[in-house]
Amino acid sequence: MTSDKWVAGEGRSTDKGLPRQARQAARTLWQVALLCAIWLVAEALRSHMGWRIPAGLIGFAALALGLFSRAVPGRWLAQGTRWLLSDMLLFFIPAMLVIINYGDLVRSQGLRIVLVIVLSTACVMVATALVVDAVYRLELHLAQRKRRQERGAKAAAGGVR
């Protein structure tokens, strides 16, 4: 009689003593703690070096470098980041509390606040579009240059025979 708790062909149990949900919760908690630790290290580095860059940006850059260089496998953080993104609404509760607590300010300056938010969002979108377009054109240019070099190398190799 075979059990689905045994990994086929490996003779080891997938049941590590904890229910599956508990293992997933522990893994998620560990990954969120790891992300928090990255932020804390970035904050310590920022304050030690006297940088004015937010610690979140430093941590993001370090994590991006680790992920792109494959020094940090994405699976190490996948479940924790998935959980953080799925509960992102919780991060906006403080903004709602500000609106509730400072209703008079929102009523008197609300249109200006909305205008600033809309204009700054539009500026970010335009800047992002321009950067994406510039990077796309750069990639096209580099690909064309590479093709020209390859054609030149083939032509040179063909003429040497």
Residue 44 pLDDT grade (very low, low, confident, very high; cuts 50, 70, 90): very high
Query: Structure tokens of 78?
Result: 């996948």
Residues facing residue 6 across a β-bridge: 13
Beta carbons within 10 angstroms of residue 42's beta carbon: 22
pLDDT of residue 27: 86
**Under 8 Å between Cβ of 6 and 14:** yes
pLDDT digits (tens, 9 = 90+) for 65-106: 988 898 888 888 888 888 887 877 666 666 677 777 888 888
pLDDT of residue 105: 84
Describe the chain by its helix, strand, coil percentages, rounded to 5.
80, 0, 20
Cα 32-36-39 angle, rounded to 5 deg: 145
Q: What is the DSSP letter of 6?
A: B
| Nearest to 42, CA basis, from 18, 22, 59 | 59
Q: How many residues does the chain have?
A: 161
Beta carbons within 10 angstroms of residue 41's beta carbon: 14
Between 43 and 12, residue with greater pLDDT: 43
